[in-house]
Structure 1
């Protein structure tokens, strides 16, 4: 993980978080029609309810909600109770796409590779043939005394794709060091946290390493909420990811199949 600056984005981040919060604070019956797996052309698009996801499958469901923006198909139905929801989400998705491509060029140069080496597998971002997702996350107030045993706001996990851009409203994220110790990731105003994900680790034969991270429950008596925006960058569904150094450290894997396998672990097989 490392931090970078996205010039001029602070106002846009605030706007996305504001309209996302407006959506999350609606009653569940208002959000239900926009649930994840409602949209056939993009099953990952839509609302994820509280405790529906277990990013660490060994723990109870995570104490968070999410709205996944992963499709712009004309048939997608967007929440209409929140003004400009579709427009703001779509605009921010495109900004994040542009930044992520720049970051991957820099990463390739850092490895001494052609700067376009990763981009060919990301040519379909923003279509239904690529799983890249802008995820608005909302962590509601928690009564720690009533939480289930072992329950967290977000269970320990590593991200699935190539990189993740993370925008935070407050601290709460923890990352695991190589020693196994979890440390708090600072929330730097105006900064973007860039996270290496699992397929990038495979692709680079561990030259870039994915990292486990989590969000703990707030301290007893803390009734604050937390928000974040995560732009999960995925290779095109049909892209085959193999070690770019020509080694066989990791076997080749098709990006879309790998992503679906990870979703099955987080949501169950249903």
Structure 2
């Protein structure tokens, strides 16, 4: 199995119009990818390699500081959203059956200027990146709706409040520090096996390490394609489409013993609006209705000792 690569230039952030022929081509390719694999690379999206690198550089400056400098920005310390803020190593367990993940992150759930930010540079670059990822993700939803012969508003109307306190989408720079093999706990990994929670996820990778579960039950290594974004279906979209689009488990294992490599990436997790009710689009009762927030809360509670 390999992850398909789609040229998204016809509907990139720099294009105002897309022809019906171009939309049909994009939607056909995307439908095949999300039905068969659950993941796809998009290239020529309008989000450049250079702008992603600037965001990753700014986040790395934050992550390389001593923990006491990062502590004031900890998750659960912001009134705007309990999920907003810095997550230190081993706090999150994306596979609850493993010890805490050997990674740290910064959850950006709001781009409001009046909240506390680590620096003006961090704020400017990450707020801009959040908005760019938001716009691209809504374009991807439009193509996905077209691929299912749906009015785009079926998906778009459930994502009207992204970036506000009525939606829990998050931009998440991640940093995987060097691993001390002598201190690693039994069964501990950098990022435990999991599927994502919401509608779709977007990932910009600086380094390799991600593995995706294939239909045959084997994990495959995901390459890094500079300038491309990796997009995958998340759980609520699988429920929404009654399993037509598939949400696939993925992970990041430890590097080989003695390998002191780090890993960095930038993720954007698109969530339906908190009060949006997700029901099966085919009218079936394959999955019971659930709101975007209720499903997210259940998954977060399983990933953290306390939410």
TM-score bin, normalised by smaller chain? over 0.9
Q: Does 1:69 align with 2:108?
A: yes
Q: Which runs of 4+ in 1 moved over 4 A?
A: none
1:101 is paired with a residue whose SS is helix
Per the alignment, residue 305 of structure 2 pairs with 268
Shift of 1:178: 1.8
CA distance in 1 between counterparts of 2:114 and 2:55 reads 22
> Please, which of 31, 41, 56 is the counterpart of residue 3 of structure 1?
41
Per the alignment, residue 290 of structure 2 pairs with 253
Q: 1:70-108 CA deviation, whole Å, 9 max, x = no partner?
A: 11345421113xx51101000010000000000000011
Per the alignment, residue 96 of structure 1 pairs with 133
> Please, which of 45, 48, 52 is the counterpart of residue 13 of structure 1?
52
Shift of 1:67: 0.5
Q: 1:202-239 CA deviation, whole Å, 9 max, x = no partner?
A: 00000100000000000111101100111000000000
CA distance in 2 between counterparts of 1:74 and 1:84 reads 12
Q: Does 1:108 align with 2:123?
A: no
Q: Does 1:58 align with 2:97?
A: yes
CA distance in 2 between counterparts of 1:213 and 1:153 reads 12
Change (3 A) 1:8 1:104: closer
CA distance in 2 between counterparts of 1:26 and 1:8 reads 28
Q: Is the 8 A contact 2:42 2:228 kept in 1?
A: yes
Shift of 1:128: 1.1
Q: Which runs of 5+ in 2 are unaligned?
A: 1-38
After the TM superposition, which residues 126-137 of structure 1 pair with which residues of structure 2 at under 5 Å, given as runs? 126-137=163-174
What is the aligned length?
A: 268
Per the alignment, residue 243 of structure 1 pairs with 280
Per the alignment, residue 193 of structure 1 pairs with 230
CA distance in 2 between counterparts of 1:135 and 1:74 reads 18
> Please, which of 43, 47, 72 is the counterpart of residue 33 of structure 1?
72
The TM-score with structure 2 as length reference comes to 0.85
Q: Which runs of 5+ in 1 are unaligned?
A: none
Q: Does 1:154 align with 2:191?
A: yes
